[in-house]
Structure 1
Amino acid sequence: MKTFVKHGLLAGALCALPATSFAQSEVVVWVAGEPGQTNIYDELAAAYSAQHADVTVTVVKNSSDLFNPALIPALSAGEGPDLFSFGTGPGQPAALIAGGLVADLTGAYFENNWSGTIPEGIVVQTSSDGKLWAFGNEVETTGMFYNKAIFAENGISVPGTWAEMEAAVAALQAAGYDTPIGLGAADKWPVSHWQSMMFGRYAGPEGIENVLFGEGAWTDAPFVAASAKLQEMGQAGWFGPTPVAIGYGELMDRFWAGEVPMTFTGPWVIGGGTEAAGDRIGDFGVFAVPPFEDGQSIHPTNSIGSGWYIRESSENKEAAVDFMNYMFASNEGRTALLNAGTVPVGPLDEALADAQMPALAVEIWKSADEHAGNGSVPAFLDTITPGSLTTVSYDGLQALLLDVMTPEEFTSEMQSAWTAAKEAGEIMLPGGIAEQ
């Protein structure tokens, strides 16, 4: 039986990395993204190469629609990038791993103490068969954005308990706000952010992992209870009279205009919000939704959109690992990423202190770091579960809000889709790293 390493978000410590000498080599890095989004990698490459005269890091930029079609043929031919970012969702990395196209990073994980940087919840998304295959790329989280000015006008403090949360919503409703918490459920996916967070609160990280990689089921009691709580909130008007009739874009416009006091979303809205709110941006803040029930812990939500892989046939693996280590495990690299709007995985306290970020961004990530010791849960279950389950979840979440489906029916339909996906081999492979 394999022994799997357990590690928390705050295990270990980030520190300055010593310079490493290599034979003269070039590390070719492929990144995908639109113009302006990938400039940070040029900057990191230049900074690293300036510290390592024996290594040249060359960044090759590809538009998103050209990256994937070109990658697999290049890797299969033993060519292409030494280091590249690619998806980590169901099915995406499996072909790379099964085909022997990417390097096993388990040794680098232990040698570089990556357990102090990569949260366990991210490790399980980038590992299989006891081995680490990728270093998790940018991370996203979610939190309750709120209007401080509206709270102050109505004598409301940031709620720290569910009773205080209920009192805050009641006070806002009494003050004439028909939508205390904006949802934008016409677009379906915003509701899944609530689902991911609430499933995590009721089941905990272990409960989520037991379904994703073990024998757990979406019909287990915690998921039914979480679905019932979400429906209860909708029935009480927390999300307004017609949440499924309002799209996310319209909702966010109303939030930044000061018409909706709260909305549960992520830091990707901050740039647009700063532009929309202008001089009023200081009126807004972020807090963690308090525990829904006695005995619950706050589990920060963390999800990654991709991971960084190294080509198995690369002759420059050590230099590629070292550059990746510089980007994501040194305070210098992490601070540069934060300044560019990319949030690396792991503890952020040191990098946040040095980064020049919008106040709202600092606030949401400090909130996540504050509760990191409790363990994190996925922010976006829809990105790590099969598309068939996502479709069922999206439709079912709307049905819950419309009161045309019970929590038991919703979770039963989820489990049916999940069972079919498991039988078809469409789910993520079990994660975890075997101890060395």
Structure 2
Amino acid sequence: MGGMRTMDPKRMSRRHFVASCAGVATGLLVAACAPKVVEKIVKETVEVEKIVKEVVKETIIVEGTPQVVEKEVTRVVKEVVEVLAKPEKAVISFWVEAPTTERREVINELYRDTFNAAHPNIELELTFTEDVDRVLRTAMQAGAGPDIVTTPGAGFILEYILAGHVAPLDELAEHYGWRDRLLPWAYESGVVGGHLYSLPLTYESMVVFYNKTLFEAKGWGIPTNREELDDLIRACVADDINPFEYTNSGWKPATEHLIGMFYDHYAGADNVYKALIGEKKWTDDEFVEAMALMNDWFQKGYYSGSIDKYHALTSDDTWSAVANGQGAMQMSGTWCFQSIDPFFEESGQEWDWFPMPSLREGVKPVYALATGQTESINAKSLHQLEAAAALDWLYNDKRRALQISSSFNFGEWMVPLNYTADDFPVGTDPRVVRFFVDFAKVTGRGDYGYTTWTFWPAKTEVFLWEEYDMVLAGEMTPAEYQARAQELFDEEVAEGKVPPVPERF
């Protein structure tokens, strides 16, 4: 289990992405300048043989008298002509973050091979690439890159859009019906300036994982509000059990997972939305109080026993603690579905999850929206129509999509479609099915929150996770922290760098 992790450290942090994109030009999006779909027509010159009939005159002698007669003759001539070249396969390049060998085989078999078999005039080439974000970014800035462009999430695509690196997908989306297939918020997360530029390949959310065996042994119920959660935390402390386990030692941005939970469930998702679109300030009381509450829990040792341990433990340490009952819960992302089982198999105990309860009266519990990866079409691709067909193959069959995602235990490659329980492969963990069915139902009625790595502009988002340590160390108050966040947010609003935020309904 030494290689296991609660989150993928290969995902680029926004700080590194922003630094590398410093040279990318920014400016207003002008729809009229958007690149159009390019079709390549190839001609070639060939030498052909042609049969020519012609009438020739010749002189013959008839009874000693010369006579001129005409006769038809046939001859073969060679001629150089220009013709349409014989159609060749359009090769579509798609660079993908490298998973394990077993998962590569599943993706190749169920995605690449089935697509190529159904499209004899197109060849989809998947290249599994370590550190694909960095490699792709370098290629794109050089004016190259693959036909299908991958980014770590909706918040990252904006830089490529502003630089003109990716093509608008509006006409293709209408042709394939992507708006009707995808969850509404997922489709809208790729719309910038009124045009669609990206589609999510995977989506995720934040939940509370817990040791079910421990809860049953202690007679603890699942908390559904702040009062019940406070009672549960006190019961954990009384039994010398850490209420929560978590760490940021292997992935510094992990702190933003918690920040988003407190924003959504204390300040409230409606208020978060208003702040993201400029109708509220991040300095308003509910946001300051949310960060103060989070700091209070850290100071009391509710996370991994102490702030020092939060900074020192490995991800495996925290999951082992929950699996062995030394810790009761872990607030984390649904990407953990792919890595949690071995810890509990080793301990012989059982895990489960529940939605984060509201932390303040009048605030609805929600599922946070997050895209873990997006796909776009390179504006310089010579095969944009064929690339769109390859993209569509990810979204046009729910059961095929779920078969692929099942190899990750639905922690990655989870296409945001409107699933029902019957869509999942036989034998799927019912805890996983329960989440995705409930997520679609709850978010479908408008009860959703926001993750910082999907909806915050880059500099503000990096500040949130990087500088919260100052709050934990007592070197910055929650009010000062929120004030600085507001300053950075205002700068990025002025620069047009706030990612798209789907309108609430």
Q: Same fold (TM over 0.5)?
A: yes
Q: Secondary structure at 1:180's aligned position in 2? A: strand
User: Which residue does 1:164 correspond to in 2?
Assistant: 228
1:66 offset after TM fit, Å? 3.3
Q: Secondary structure at 1:336's aligned position in 2? A: helix
Q: Secondary structure at 2:112's aligned position in 1? A: helix
What amino acid maps onto 1:414 in structure 2?
A: A
Cα pair 1:83 1:308 within 8 Å, conserved: yes
Cα pair 2:421 2:437 within 8 Å, conserved: no
1:146 offset after TM fit, Å? 0.4
* Cα-to-partner distance string for 1:57-81 (whole Å, 9 max, x where unaligned): 2323433253332344354xxxx53
The CA distance in 2 between the partners of 1:281 and 1:317, in whole Å, is 51
User: Which residue does 1:427 correspond to in 2?
Assistant: 497
User: Which residue does 2:147 correspond to in 1?
Assistant: 82
1:309 offset after TM fit, Å? 0.9
The CA distance in 2 between the partners of 1:274 and 1:88, in whole Å, is 26
What amino acid maps onto 1:284 in structure 2?
A: W
- Counting only pairs closer than 5 Å after superposition, residues 24-423 of structure 1 correspond to structure 2 as 25-34=89-98, 36=101, 38-43=104-109, 44-63=111-130, 64=132, 65-75=134-144, 81-88=146-153, 92-94=156-158, 96-177=160-241, 179-184=242-247, 189-234=253-298, 237-239=301-303, 241-246=305-310, 247-249=313-315, 250-278=317-345, 280=347, 283-341=350-408, 342-350=413-421, 353-354=424-425, 357-358=428-429, 361-372=432-443, 373-379=445-451, 381-382=452-453, 384-386=455-457, 388-401=459-472, 405-423=476-494
What amino acid maps onto 1:159 in structure 2?
A: P
The CA distance in 2 between the partners of 1:393 and 1:307, in whole Å, is 23
Name whichever structure is richer in helix by fraction: 1
Please list every run of 5 or more consecutive structure 2 residues that lacks an aligned counterpart in the other structure.
1-86
Q: Against the structure 1 CA distance between its residues 100 and 235, is the aligned structure 2 distance closer, same or farther, given a 3 Å change threshold?
A: closer
The CA distance in 2 between the partners of 1:67 and 1:136, in whole Å, is 17
Please list every run of 5 or more consecutive structure 1 residues that lacks an aligned counterpart in the other structure.
1-22
1:145 offset after TM fit, Å? 0.7
The CA distance in 1 between the partners of 2:496 and 2:320, in whole Å, is 37
Structure number, greater radius of gyration: 2
What amino acid maps onto 1:311 in structure 2?
A: N
Q: Against the structure 1 CA distance between its residues 138 and 174, is the aligned structure 2 distance closer, same or farther, given a 3 Å change threshold?
A: same
Cα pair 1:140 1:302 within 8 Å, conserved: yes
Q: Secondary structure at 1:302's aligned position in 2? A: strand
Q: Against the structure 1 CA distance between its residues 429 and 293, is the aligned structure 2 distance closer, same or farther, given a 3 Å change threshold?
A: closer
1:208 offset after TM fit, Å? 3.2
Q: Against the structure 1 CA distance between its residues 72 and 413, is the aligned structure 2 distance closer, same or farther, given a 3 Å change threshold?
A: closer
TM (norm. structure 1) is 0.79
Q: Secondary structure at 1:374's aligned position in 2? A: coil
Q: Against the structure 1 CA distance between its residues 355 and 105, is the aligned structure 2 distance closer, same or farther, given a 3 Å change threshold?
A: farther
Q: Which runs of 4+ in 1 moved over 6 A?
A: none
1:227 offset after TM fit, Å? 1.8
The CA distance in 2 between the partners of 1:407 and 1:203, in whole Å, is 14
Name whichever structure is richer in strand by fraction: 2
Which 10-residue stretch deviates more, 335-344 or 309-318? 309-318
The Cα RMSD (Å) is 3.3
Higher relative contact order (CA 8 A, sep 6+): 1
Q: Secondary structure at 1:414's aligned position in 2? A: helix
1:154 offset after TM fit, Å? 0.9
The CA distance in 1 between the partners of 2:462 and 2:219, in whole Å, is 41
Cα pair 2:152 2:373 within 8 Å, conserved: yes
1:192 offset after TM fit, Å? 1.7
The CA distance in 2 between the partners of 1:98 and 1:396, in whole Å, is 28
Q: Against the structure 1 CA distance between its residues 114 and 406, is the aligned structure 2 distance closer, same or farther, given a 3 Å change threshold?
A: same
| Equivalent residue pairs, number | 403
The CA distance in 1 between the partners of 2:280 and 2:104, in whole Å, is 39
Q: Against the structure 1 CA distance between its residues 114 and 38, is the aligned structure 2 distance closer, same or farther, given a 3 Å change threshold?
A: same
TM (norm. structure 2) is 0.69
Q: Against the structure 1 CA distance between its residues 106 and 194, is the aligned structure 2 distance closer, same or farther, given a 3 Å change threshold?
A: same
